[in-house]
Amino acid sequence: MSALKIENLSCSYQKTAVLEALDLTLNDNEIVCLLGESGCGKTTLLRAVAGLQTELTGKISIRQKVLNDEKTYTPSEQRKIGLIFQDYALFPHLNVFDNVAFSLTNKLSKTEKQQRVDSVLSLVQLSDMSKRFPHQLSGGQQQRIAIARALAYQPELMLLDEPFSNLDQHVRFQLINEIRQLFKQHQMSALFVTHSKEEGFAFADRIALMQAGKIVQIDTAQKLYRQPNSAYVADFMGQSNYIGVTVVDKFSYQGCFGLLGSNSVIEHSIGKQLRLLLRPEHINIVPDLNGLAMVKQVDFQGALQQITVQFNQQIFIVKHSNHCNDCLQFEVDDKVTLTVLNHDFVTFESETNTE
């Protein structure tokens, strides 16, 4: 059974499309990240699932129960959804216990409420802070309280809108790891919005990359990075270099780096012109006094050097390891030779291709 199913969902503001015929399925015990640039529609999609966006067409179902279609609208408070926001949304005049208990129905007895709150505070490792007020907590602790409040409601689905963006990097990724483990242990499905691909990589099982109201590709982070279905996806997921290549035969391309052998059968016709994607780690760099490439910039990045190189009237970004004391250190104006390392090639239609 799917935890969430969205079918042909569309939304417009003042005749401007924000979501366009969007489909998405979230499986049981799965965390999916909605990733994309500002204005791509990811927060609108989250609001639609939460029942906070009413100008919609299409269908939304949670565990096969229809919440939205042409005949149905279920109010947000009846959707059994837990909401976690960027600003934590804690009540400053209530202590931790009362903030968590606020989400609980009055149908529960005092003892049941006590047991429920104690249980979720234990899950987020804040049992000893139930009497404190929000201003007495760190940012990470406040976010844990917001998560405990959502869990106390015992939702069928969790929705998270930029929940970690107010935290510094060390606390952020520690909390991401903790919350991911918590959701997995309790078979919790979640839809998570962020503009940070690093957060998406760390927290989600799959990433749905959005552009202009549509999901352009949904898959694991590794596949989106290594097997993007468009240059937009490739560029969003990481640094990209491109070269023009021509298909020579079913297993090779010809380009500025010479003949490149493919690990798999090339489906395009011989003579087809394409753009070949090269990540910085796909290019090897070595010093060469007779080399045809020249270093233009070197940026120290801890474990790596990022090297900007000019070759064949084109700029390439290359990564080189700093892992050992005697590893090569490049300087501006060094002459070098670049070669393409063996990997699974990804190509896109050439912008100048007329075929």
At 326 the pLDDT is 61
Q: How far apart are CA 29 and CA 184, in angstroms?
A: 6
Residue carrying structure tokens 């969790």 = 158
CA distance 23 to 29: 19
Domain 2-235 sits in CATH at: 3.40.50.300
Domain boundaries, the chain: 2-235, 239-349
Alpha carbons 306 and 297: distance in angstroms, whole number: 8
Do residues 42 and 215 make contact, with C-beta atoms less than 8 angstroms apart? Answer: no
pLDDT at residue number 143: 86
Q: Where are the beta strands (DSSP E) in the chain?
A: 2-13, 16-27, 31-35, 56-62, 65-68, 81-84, 157-161, 190-194, 206-211, 214-219, 241-249, 252-255, 258-261, 273-278, 283-287, 293-301, 304-311, 314-321, 335-340, 346-349
CA distance 265 to 274: 15
Chain CA centroid to CA 23, Å: 17
Token pair for 72: 């149905």
- Specify the pLDDT at position 137: 92
Check residue 225 and give its pLDDT: 96
pLDDT at 355: 42
Query: Residue 296: which residues within 8 A CB-CB, separation 6 or more?
Result: 308, 309, 310, 315, 332
CATH match of 239-349 with 3.40.50.360: no
How many helices, marked H, and strands, marked E, lie in the chain?
A: 8, 20
Q: pLDDT tens digits for the chain (355 residues)?
A: 799 999 999 998 878 889 999 999 999 999 999 999 999 999 999 999 999 988 899 999 999 999 999 999 999 989 999 988 877 788 999 999 999 998 787 778 888 889 999 999 998 888 999 999 999 998 888 988 988 888 888 899 999 998 888 778 878 888 889 889 989 988 999 999 998 999 999 999 999 999 999 999 999 999 999 999 999 999 999 999 999 999 999 999 999 999 999 999 999 999 999 999 999 999 999 999 999 999 999 999 988 999 999 999 999 999 998 877 667 889 999 999 999 999 999 999 986 544 4
Contact 80, 156 (CB under 8 A): yes
